[in-house]
Protein backbone atom coordinates (compact mmCIF):
# COMPACT_ATOMS: atom_id res chain seq x y z
CA UNK A 1 0.00 0.00 0.00
CA UNK A 2 2.83 2.35 0.91
CA UNK A 3 4.43 1.70 -2.45
CA UNK A 4 1.18 2.31 -4.27
CA UNK A 5 0.68 5.57 -2.42
CA UNK A 6 4.18 6.59 -3.41
CA UNK A 7 3.47 5.74 -7.03
CA UNK A 8 0.27 7.76 -7.04
CA UNK A 9 1.97 10.67 -5.29
CA UNK A 10 4.86 10.57 -7.73
CA UNK A 11 2.56 10.54 -10.72
CA UNK A 12 0.54 13.38 -9.27
CA UNK A 13 3.66 15.44 -8.63
CA UNK A 14 4.92 14.58 -12.07
CA UNK A 15 1.74 15.76 -13.72
CA UNK A 16 1.25 18.88 -11.67
CA UNK A 17 4.86 19.93 -12.10
CA UNK A 18 4.51 19.52 -15.84
CA UNK A 19 1.68 21.97 -15.76
CA UNK A 20 3.77 24.43 -13.80
CA UNK A 21 6.42 24.16 -16.49
CA UNK A 22 4.05 25.13 -19.21
CA UNK A 23 5.10 28.75 -19.45
CA UNK A 24 8.75 28.31 -20.50
CA UNK A 25 7.77 25.65 -23.00
CA UNK A 26 5.52 27.98 -24.91
CA UNK A 27 2.14 26.38 -25.38
CA UNK A 28 0.53 24.76 -22.36
CA UNK A 29 1.72 21.22 -21.66
CA UNK A 30 -1.14 20.12 -19.46
CA UNK A 31 -1.12 16.37 -19.29
CA UNK A 32 -3.54 13.67 -18.30
CA UNK A 33 -3.60 13.41 -14.53
CA UNK A 34 -3.93 9.64 -14.56
CA UNK A 35 -1.39 6.81 -14.48
CA UNK A 36 -0.23 5.68 -17.89
CA UNK A 37 0.14 2.15 -19.21
CA UNK A 38 2.12 1.74 -22.43
CA UNK A 39 1.52 -1.30 -24.63
CA UNK A 40 3.98 -1.43 -27.51
CA UNK A 41 5.74 -3.71 -29.98
CA UNK A 42 9.22 -2.15 -29.84
CA UNK A 43 9.47 -0.84 -33.38
CA UNK A 44 12.10 1.87 -33.69
CA UNK A 45 9.52 4.62 -33.43
CA UNK A 46 8.21 3.18 -30.16
CA UNK A 47 11.72 3.86 -28.85
CA UNK A 48 11.36 7.55 -29.72
CA UNK A 49 7.93 7.62 -28.09
CA UNK A 50 9.34 6.18 -24.86
CA UNK A 51 12.28 8.60 -25.05
CA UNK A 52 9.73 11.42 -25.34
CA UNK A 53 7.82 10.12 -22.30
CA UNK A 54 11.13 9.93 -20.42
CA UNK A 55 11.65 13.60 -21.17
CA UNK A 56 8.27 14.37 -19.64
CA UNK A 57 9.36 12.46 -16.55
CA UNK A 58 12.62 14.40 -16.33
CA UNK A 59 10.87 17.72 -16.87
CA UNK A 60 8.62 16.85 -13.98
CA UNK A 61 11.60 16.37 -11.72
CA UNK A 62 13.34 19.64 -12.48
CA UNK A 63 13.95 21.48 -9.25
CA UNK A 64 12.47 18.70 -7.16
CA UNK A 65 15.05 16.69 -5.30
CA UNK A 66 14.61 13.19 -3.87
CA UNK A 67 11.50 12.51 -5.85
CA UNK A 68 11.42 9.57 -8.13
CA UNK A 69 8.85 9.17 -10.85
CA UNK A 70 7.85 5.57 -11.25
CA UNK A 71 7.89 4.85 -14.99
CA UNK A 72 4.70 3.84 -16.74
CA UNK A 73 3.87 0.16 -16.77
CA UNK A 74 4.93 -1.34 -20.09
CA UNK A 75 3.62 -4.41 -21.83
CA UNK A 76 4.85 -5.93 -25.03
CA UNK A 77 2.44 -6.84 -27.78
CA UNK A 78 4.00 -9.72 -29.69
CA UNK A 79 2.00 -9.75 -32.92
CA UNK A 80 3.93 -6.73 -34.20
CA UNK A 81 7.59 -5.87 -34.56
CA UNK A 82 9.54 -7.23 -31.63
CA UNK A 83 9.95 -10.88 -30.73
CA UNK A 84 8.77 -11.66 -27.26
CA UNK A 85 11.14 -14.30 -25.97
CA UNK A 86 12.34 -12.12 -23.16
CA UNK A 87 11.18 -8.56 -23.72
CA UNK A 88 14.87 -7.93 -24.34
CA UNK A 89 14.26 -4.75 -26.26
CA UNK A 90 12.04 -3.03 -23.71
CA UNK A 91 14.56 -3.65 -20.96
CA UNK A 92 17.20 -2.33 -23.34
CA UNK A 93 15.28 0.89 -23.97
CA UNK A 94 14.98 1.52 -20.25
CA UNK A 95 18.66 0.78 -19.76
CA UNK A 96 19.66 3.25 -22.49
CA UNK A 97 17.38 5.90 -21.02
CA UNK A 98 18.85 5.34 -17.54
CA UNK A 99 15.42 4.43 -16.23
CA UNK A 100 14.42 1.60 -13.93
CA UNK A 101 12.52 -0.99 -15.95
CA UNK A 102 9.06 -1.76 -14.58
CA UNK A 103 7.42 -5.18 -14.61
CA UNK A 104 7.21 -6.06 -18.27
CA UNK A 105 4.68 -8.49 -19.65
CA UNK A 106 4.56 -10.19 -23.04
CA UNK A 107 1.44 -11.18 -24.94
CA UNK A 108 0.62 -13.95 -27.38
CA UNK A 109 2.53 -14.16 -30.64
CA UNK A 110 -0.16 -15.14 -33.13
CA UNK A 111 -3.20 -13.20 -34.17
CA UNK A 112 -6.58 -14.91 -34.21
CA UNK A 113 -7.64 -15.91 -37.78
CA UNK A 114 -4.37 -14.61 -39.24
CA UNK A 115 -1.48 -16.42 -37.47
CA UNK A 116 0.80 -16.04 -40.47
CA UNK A 117 0.68 -12.27 -40.61
CA UNK A 118 3.86 -10.81 -39.23
CA UNK A 119 6.91 -8.84 -40.14
CA UNK A 120 9.90 -10.70 -41.55
CA UNK A 121 12.15 -12.51 -39.09
CA UNK A 122 14.96 -10.15 -40.05
CA UNK A 123 12.93 -7.07 -39.13
CA UNK A 124 11.82 -8.67 -35.88
CA UNK A 125 15.39 -9.50 -34.89
CA UNK A 126 16.36 -5.90 -35.57
CA UNK A 127 13.65 -4.77 -33.18
CA UNK A 128 14.69 -7.34 -30.60
CA UNK A 129 18.26 -6.03 -30.68
CA UNK A 130 17.09 -2.43 -30.62
CA UNK A 131 18.35 -1.64 -34.10
CA UNK A 132 22.01 -2.04 -33.16
CA UNK A 133 21.86 -0.12 -29.88
CA UNK A 134 21.73 -3.10 -27.54
CA UNK A 135 25.19 -4.21 -26.50
CA UNK A 136 24.25 -7.27 -24.45
CA UNK A 137 21.19 -9.43 -23.68
CA UNK A 138 19.06 -8.00 -20.92
CA UNK A 139 17.81 -11.23 -19.33
CA UNK A 140 14.45 -12.94 -19.39
CA UNK A 141 11.00 -11.83 -18.37
CA UNK A 142 8.17 -14.32 -18.58
CA UNK A 143 5.30 -12.26 -17.24
CA UNK A 144 2.03 -12.50 -19.09
CA UNK A 145 1.06 -9.12 -20.55
CA UNK A 146 -2.64 -9.43 -19.71
CA UNK A 147 -1.84 -10.28 -16.09
CA UNK A 148 0.56 -7.33 -15.82
CA UNK A 149 -2.11 -5.03 -17.28
CA UNK A 150 -4.79 -6.33 -14.96
CA UNK A 151 -2.51 -6.22 -11.89
CA UNK A 152 -1.85 -2.57 -12.56
CA UNK A 153 -5.48 -1.68 -13.23
CA UNK A 154 -6.90 -3.44 -10.20
CA UNK A 155 -4.23 -1.84 -7.99
CA UNK A 156 -5.73 1.54 -8.82
CA UNK A 157 -8.72 0.81 -6.55
CA UNK A 158 -11.13 3.63 -7.32
CA UNK A 159 -8.85 5.30 -9.87
CA UNK A 160 -8.49 4.77 -13.57
CA UNK A 161 -5.59 4.65 -16.03
CA UNK A 162 -4.88 5.81 -19.54
CA UNK A 163 -3.60 3.23 -22.00
CA UNK A 164 -1.21 4.22 -24.76
CA UNK A 165 -1.36 1.44 -27.36
CA UNK A 166 1.47 1.64 -29.91
CA UNK A 167 1.22 -1.73 -31.63
CA UNK A 168 -1.48 -4.20 -32.68
CA UNK A 169 -4.37 -4.25 -30.20
CA UNK A 170 -3.91 -7.94 -29.29
CA UNK A 171 -3.09 -7.44 -25.61
CA UNK A 172 -5.83 -4.87 -25.04
CA UNK A 173 -8.48 -7.10 -26.64
CA UNK A 174 -7.21 -10.07 -24.61
CA UNK A 175 -7.43 -7.98 -21.45
CA UNK A 176 -11.05 -7.05 -22.19
CA UNK A 177 -11.87 -10.70 -22.97
CA UNK A 178 -10.19 -12.22 -19.90
CA UNK A 179 -11.11 -9.48 -17.43
CA UNK A 180 -14.26 -7.71 -18.69
CA UNK A 181 -14.28 -5.73 -15.43
CA UNK A 182 -11.04 -4.04 -16.57
CA UNK A 183 -13.16 -1.81 -18.79
CA UNK A 184 -14.28 0.30 -15.85
CA UNK A 185 -10.64 0.83 -14.79
CA UNK A 186 -9.71 2.38 -18.12
CA UNK A 187 -10.38 6.07 -18.61
CA UNK A 188 -9.11 6.48 -22.15
CA UNK A 189 -7.13 4.59 -24.76
CA UNK A 190 -4.92 6.46 -27.18
CA UNK A 191 -4.02 4.07 -29.97
CA UNK A 192 -1.90 4.43 -33.08
CA UNK A 193 -3.38 2.61 -36.02
CA UNK A 194 -5.61 2.57 -39.05
CA UNK A 195 -6.04 4.69 -42.15
CA UNK A 196 -9.44 6.32 -42.57
CA UNK A 197 -9.31 8.86 -45.40
CA UNK A 198 -5.83 8.05 -46.72
CA UNK A 199 -4.09 4.97 -48.15
CA UNK A 200 -2.48 2.31 -45.96
CA UNK A 201 1.18 1.37 -45.55
CA UNK A 202 1.24 -2.45 -45.62
CA UNK A 203 1.69 -2.96 -49.37
CA UNK A 204 3.98 0.07 -49.57
CA UNK A 205 6.32 -1.32 -46.91
CA UNK A 206 6.16 -4.97 -47.98
CA UNK A 207 5.22 -5.22 -51.67
CA UNK A 208 6.62 -8.76 -51.89
CA UNK A 209 4.65 -10.53 -49.15
CA UNK A 210 1.55 -8.31 -49.00
CA UNK A 211 1.24 -6.51 -52.36
CA UNK A 212 -2.56 -6.38 -52.42
CA UNK A 213 -3.11 -4.65 -49.07
CA UNK A 214 -2.89 -1.04 -50.20
CA UNK A 215 -5.56 0.30 -47.84
CA UNK A 216 -4.48 -1.21 -44.53
CA UNK A 217 -2.24 0.08 -41.80
CA UNK A 218 0.10 -2.40 -40.08
CA UNK A 219 -1.15 -2.31 -36.48
CA UNK A 220 -4.68 -3.13 -37.60
CA UNK A 221 -3.70 -5.46 -40.45
CA UNK A 222 -1.60 -7.69 -38.17
CA UNK A 223 -4.56 -8.40 -35.88
CA UNK A 224 -7.89 -7.12 -37.25
CA UNK A 225 -9.95 -9.27 -34.88
CA UNK A 226 -8.44 -7.62 -31.80
CA UNK A 227 -8.66 -4.19 -33.41
CA UNK A 228 -12.36 -4.72 -34.02
CA UNK A 229 -12.95 -5.70 -30.39
CA UNK A 230 -11.47 -2.39 -29.26
CA UNK A 231 -12.70 -0.07 -32.02
CA UNK A 232 -16.06 -1.46 -33.09
CA UNK A 233 -17.66 -2.46 -29.79
CA UNK A 234 -19.22 -0.04 -27.35
CA UNK A 235 -17.07 0.63 -24.30
CA UNK A 236 -17.35 2.82 -21.24
CA UNK A 237 -13.91 4.31 -21.93
CA UNK A 238 -13.03 6.88 -24.56
CA UNK A 239 -10.90 5.85 -27.55
CA UNK A 240 -8.65 8.27 -29.41
CA UNK A 241 -7.51 6.74 -32.67
CA UNK A 242 -4.40 8.22 -34.30
CA UNK A 243 -4.35 6.85 -37.86
CA UNK A 244 -2.03 7.51 -40.80
CA UNK A 245 -4.30 10.45 -41.68
CA UNK A 246 -2.69 12.53 -38.92
CA UNK A 247 0.71 10.84 -38.64
CA UNK A 248 1.32 11.68 -42.32
CA UNK A 249 1.77 15.28 -41.16
CA UNK A 250 4.82 14.49 -39.03
CA UNK A 251 7.61 12.79 -41.01
CA UNK A 252 11.19 12.08 -40.01
CA UNK A 253 13.65 13.96 -42.21
CA UNK A 254 17.26 15.04 -42.54
CA UNK A 255 16.35 18.17 -40.63
CA UNK A 256 14.85 16.12 -37.79
CA UNK A 257 18.07 14.08 -37.67
CA UNK A 258 20.17 17.25 -37.44
CA UNK A 259 18.00 18.68 -34.68
CA UNK A 260 18.37 15.53 -32.59
CA UNK A 261 22.12 15.74 -33.28
CA UNK A 262 22.20 19.31 -31.95
CA UNK A 263 20.43 18.17 -28.76
CA UNK A 264 22.36 14.92 -28.26
CA UNK A 265 24.76 16.45 -25.75
CA UNK A 266 21.91 18.01 -23.78
CA UNK A 267 19.68 15.12 -22.85
CA UNK A 268 20.08 11.35 -22.68
CA UNK A 269 16.80 10.86 -24.52
CA UNK A 270 17.89 13.02 -27.45
CA UNK A 271 21.21 11.14 -27.55
CA UNK A 272 19.41 7.78 -27.69
CA UNK A 273 17.18 8.90 -30.57
CA UNK A 274 20.16 10.42 -32.36
CA UNK A 275 22.17 7.18 -32.04
CA UNK A 276 19.18 5.21 -33.28
CA UNK A 277 18.96 7.41 -36.37
CA UNK A 278 22.73 7.39 -36.91
CA UNK A 279 22.73 3.59 -37.01
CA UNK A 280 19.61 3.46 -39.19
CA UNK A 281 19.79 6.25 -41.77
CA UNK A 282 16.92 4.64 -43.72
CA UNK A 283 14.58 6.07 -41.07
CA UNK A 284 15.27 9.69 -41.98
CA UNK A 285 16.95 9.61 -45.40
CA UNK A 286 13.92 8.35 -47.27
CA UNK A 287 13.65 10.90 -50.11
CA UNK A 288 9.85 10.77 -49.96
CA UNK A 289 9.76 11.20 -46.15
CA UNK A 290 7.49 8.20 -45.56
CA UNK A 291 8.74 7.34 -42.08
CA UNK A 292 6.71 9.15 -39.48
CA UNK A 293 6.46 9.92 -35.80
CA UNK A 294 3.53 7.50 -35.65
CA UNK A 295 3.89 6.62 -31.98
CA UNK A 296 5.48 9.81 -30.68
CA UNK A 297 2.56 11.82 -32.07
CA UNK A 298 0.14 9.46 -30.33
CA UNK A 299 2.07 9.82 -27.05
CA UNK A 300 2.06 13.60 -27.42
CA UNK A 301 -1.68 13.76 -28.09
CA UNK A 302 -2.15 11.73 -24.90
CA UNK A 303 0.25 13.79 -22.80
CA UNK A 304 -0.21 17.26 -24.17
CA UNK A 305 -3.74 18.50 -24.03
CA UNK A 306 -2.76 21.75 -25.73
CA UNK A 307 -1.99 19.77 -28.89
CA UNK A 308 -5.13 17.66 -28.60
CA UNK A 309 -7.36 20.70 -28.18
CA UNK A 310 -5.55 23.04 -30.57
CA UNK A 311 -7.87 24.40 -33.31
CA UNK A 312 -5.50 22.99 -35.94
CA UNK A 313 -6.09 19.44 -34.67
CA UNK A 314 -9.03 17.83 -36.44
CA UNK A 315 -10.99 15.08 -34.68
CA UNK A 316 -13.89 13.20 -36.28
CA UNK A 317 -16.36 11.27 -34.16
CA UNK A 318 -16.75 8.00 -36.01
CA UNK A 319 -18.19 4.56 -35.89
CA UNK A 320 -15.22 2.47 -37.03
CA UNK A 321 -15.59 -0.76 -38.92
CA UNK A 322 -12.56 -3.05 -39.19
CA UNK A 323 -12.42 -5.38 -42.16
CA UNK A 324 -11.80 -8.85 -40.72
CA UNK A 325 -12.03 -10.74 -44.00
CA UNK A 326 -9.04 -12.12 -45.87
CA UNK A 327 -9.79 -10.00 -48.94
CA UNK A 328 -7.55 -7.23 -50.27
CA UNK A 329 -9.25 -4.79 -47.92
CA UNK A 330 -8.44 -6.90 -44.85
CA UNK A 331 -7.49 -4.67 -41.93
CA UNK A 332 -8.96 -1.57 -43.49
CA UNK A 333 -10.61 0.86 -41.06
CA UNK A 334 -13.68 2.67 -42.32
CA UNK A 335 -15.62 5.53 -40.75
CA UNK A 336 -19.18 4.34 -41.35
CA UNK A 337 -20.93 7.29 -39.72
CA UNK A 338 -21.15 9.24 -36.48
CA UNK A 339 -19.91 7.28 -33.49
CA UNK A 340 -17.87 7.20 -30.30
CA UNK A 341 -14.33 6.85 -31.63
CA UNK A 342 -12.34 10.09 -31.67
CA UNK A 343 -10.39 9.85 -34.91
CA UNK A 344 -7.56 12.36 -35.15
CA UNK A 345 -7.37 13.17 -38.84
CA UNK A 346 -5.09 16.21 -38.86
CA UNK A 347 -2.47 17.89 -36.68
CA UNK A 348 -0.25 20.95 -37.06
CA UNK A 349 3.27 19.86 -38.07
CA UNK A 350 4.66 23.10 -36.74
CA UNK A 351 3.11 22.65 -33.31
CA UNK A 352 4.20 19.01 -33.11
CA UNK A 353 7.87 19.71 -33.90
CA UNK A 354 7.90 22.74 -31.61
CA UNK A 355 6.62 20.68 -28.68
CA UNK A 356 8.85 17.74 -29.55
CA UNK A 357 12.13 19.64 -29.60
CA UNK A 358 11.16 21.74 -26.61
CA UNK A 359 10.76 18.50 -24.68
CA UNK A 360 14.06 17.06 -25.86
CA UNK A 361 16.09 20.22 -25.24
CA UNK A 362 15.32 20.86 -21.56
CA UNK A 363 17.66 19.36 -19.01
List interacting residues with Ca ion (CB under 5 A).
Answer: 41, 43, 46, 166-167
Q: Rank residues 43 and 128 by Cβ distance to Ca ion and give the closer one.
A: 43
Q: Of 80, 156, 75, which Cα lies nearest the Cα of 120?
A: 80
Q: Rank residues 39 and 323 by Cβ distance to Ca ion and give the closer one.
A: 39
Beta strands in the chain (DSSP E): 36-40, 73-76, 104-106, 143-144, 161-165, 186-192, 238-242, 314-322, 333-338, 341-346
**What letter would DSSP give residue 130?**
G
**Bridge partners, residue 75, by sequence:** 39, 105
Q: Rank residues 41 and 128 by Cβ distance to Ca ion and give the closer one.
A: 41
Q: Measured from the CB of residue 41, what is the shortest distance to Ca ion in angstroms?
A: 5
Q: Measured from the CB of residue 351, what is the shortest distance to Ca ion in angstroms?
A: 23
Q: Measured from the CB of residue 93, what is the shortest distance to Ca ion in angstroms?
A: 12
Give Cβ neighbours of residue 127 (< 8 Å, ≥ 6 apart). 41, 42, 43, 44, 81, 82, 83, 89
Beta strands in 18-155 (DSSP E): 36-40, 73-76, 104-106, 143-144
| Distance between CA atoms of residues 224 and 323, nearest Å | 7
How many other CB atoms are found less than 10 A from the CB of residue 277?
Answer: 24
Q: Measured from the CB of residue 124, what is the shortest distance to Ca ion in angstroms?
A: 12
Q: Measured from the CB of residue 37, what is the shortest distance to Ca ion in angstroms?
A: 15
Q: Measured from the CB of residue 80, what is the shortest distance to Ca ion in angstroms?
A: 6
Q: Rank residues 25 and 83 by Cβ distance to Ca ion and give the closer one.
A: 83
Give Cβ neighbours of residue 146 (< 8 Å, ≥ 6 apart). 105, 107, 171, 174, 175, 178, 179
Contact 296, 303 (CB under 8 A): no
| Distance between CA atoms of residues 135 and 92, nearest Å | 9
Q: Of 70, 45, 57, which Cα lies nearest the Cα of 268?
A: 57
Give Cβ neighbours of residue 82 (< 8 Å, ≥ 6 apart). 41, 42, 43, 76, 89, 90, 124, 127, 128
Q: Rank residues 41 and 174 by Cβ distance to Ca ion and give the closer one.
A: 41
Q: Rank residues 15 and 166 by Cβ distance to Ca ion and give the closer one.
A: 166
Q: Measured from the CB of residue 192, what is the shortest distance to Ca ion in angstroms?
A: 7
Q: Measured from the CB of residue 218, what is the shortest distance to Ca ion in angstroms?
A: 8
Q: Rank residues 10 and 75 by Cβ distance to Ca ion and give the closer one.
A: 75
Q: Measured from the CB of residue 46, what is the shortest distance to Ca ion in angstroms?
A: 4
| Distance between CA atoms of residues 317 and 17, nearest Å | 32
Q: Measured from the CB of residue 166, what is the shortest distance to Ca ion in angstroms?
A: 4
**What letter would DSSP give residue 131?**
G
| Distance between CA atoms of residues 25 and 125, nearest Å | 38
Q: Rank residues 167 and 339 by Cβ distance to Ca ion and give the closer one.
A: 167
- The DSSP-derived string for 270-303 is HHHHHHHHHH-GGGT--TT---B-HHHHHHHHHH
Amino acid sequence: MKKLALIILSVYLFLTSLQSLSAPLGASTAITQLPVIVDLDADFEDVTALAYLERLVQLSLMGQEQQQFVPPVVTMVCTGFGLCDNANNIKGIYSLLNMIAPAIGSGREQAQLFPDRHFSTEIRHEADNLYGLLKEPMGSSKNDAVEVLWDKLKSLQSGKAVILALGPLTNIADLLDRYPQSEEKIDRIFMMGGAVTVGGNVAYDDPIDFPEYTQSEWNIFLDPVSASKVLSRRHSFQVYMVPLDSTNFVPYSQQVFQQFGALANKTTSAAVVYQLLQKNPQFYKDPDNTVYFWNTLTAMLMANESLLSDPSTEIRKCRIEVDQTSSATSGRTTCTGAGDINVVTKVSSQLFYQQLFNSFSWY
